Amino acid sequence: MARRASGDSARRTQTDSAPLIRYFEDFHPGQVIDVGSVAVTEADIIAFARQYDPQPMHIDPDAAGRSIYGGLIASGWHTVSLFMRLLVQNLVAKTVSLGSPGVEELRWPLPVRPGDRLSGQMKVVETRASSSRPTMGIVRWRGEVRNQDGQLVMSLLGTNFFGRRPG
C-alpha cells in the first residue's frame, strides 16, 4: 500500500505510477490531468450567489425563469470556485506548489444549471525552468470544466510555480 511521504523525500509512487508528490519535472506539455468532478445543486447555486453574486438569475428561480437564461444558473465565480476546489484537492495539494501569478482568458461559454455534474481538467501548455530562481519551474496550463454532456462551461489559462525536484 502506498503512503504519502512528506517534504522533499516524497518520491515513492502509488500503484498507478503517479508520483505521490509532483514536482515541476512531473509536468509535460500536452499532458492532461483530470482533477475530478462535482455535482451542482440549486441550494448550492443560491447560497453561493447570496453571499458573493446576488443577481436575480442566481438567487431567484422565478426571476431567473423570466430572464434570457430561462431558469436558475450558477454564477461564473461559483464555477471558478468549484474548479479551484477540485484543482487544489486533487492536484495542487499533492505538489510542491509555490503559488500562482494569476489566470488569463477566463471564459464561461455556457451556463451551469442545477443538477449539472461538472468535470475538470488541467492541460499542460508549456513548462520552463525559472531563469532567476533555480529551485522553481513555471507551468502554463489550460483549465477546462465540462458538464455531464461534455459541453464546455468554463475555461481559463493559468500559470503556476512549482518546486524543482531536489538533486
| pLDDT at residue 167 in the model | 82
| pLDDT at residue 134 in the model | 93
| Residue 115 grid cell | 443538477
| Residue 100 grid cell | 500562482
d(CA 83, CA 104): 15
Side chain identity at residue 149, one-letter code: D
d(CA 56, CA 26): 44
| pLDDT at residue 5 in the model | 39
Side chain identity at residue 24, one-letter code: F
| pLDDT at residue 79 in the model | 98
Q: Whole-model pTM? A: 0.86
| pLDDT per residue rounded down to tens, the chain (167 residues) | 333 334 433 333 334 555 589 999 999 999 999 999 999 999 999 999 999 999 999 999 999 999 999 999 999 999 999 999 999 999 999 999 999 999 999 999 999 999 999 999 999 999 999 999 999 999 999 999 999 999 999 999 999 999 999 98
The answer to whether 61 and 128 are in contact (CB under 8 A) is no
| pLDDT at residue 17 in the model | 57
Q: With respect to CATH, is domain 23-163 assigned 3.10.129.10? A: yes
* Cβ neighbour number for residue 8 with a 10 Å cutoff: 13
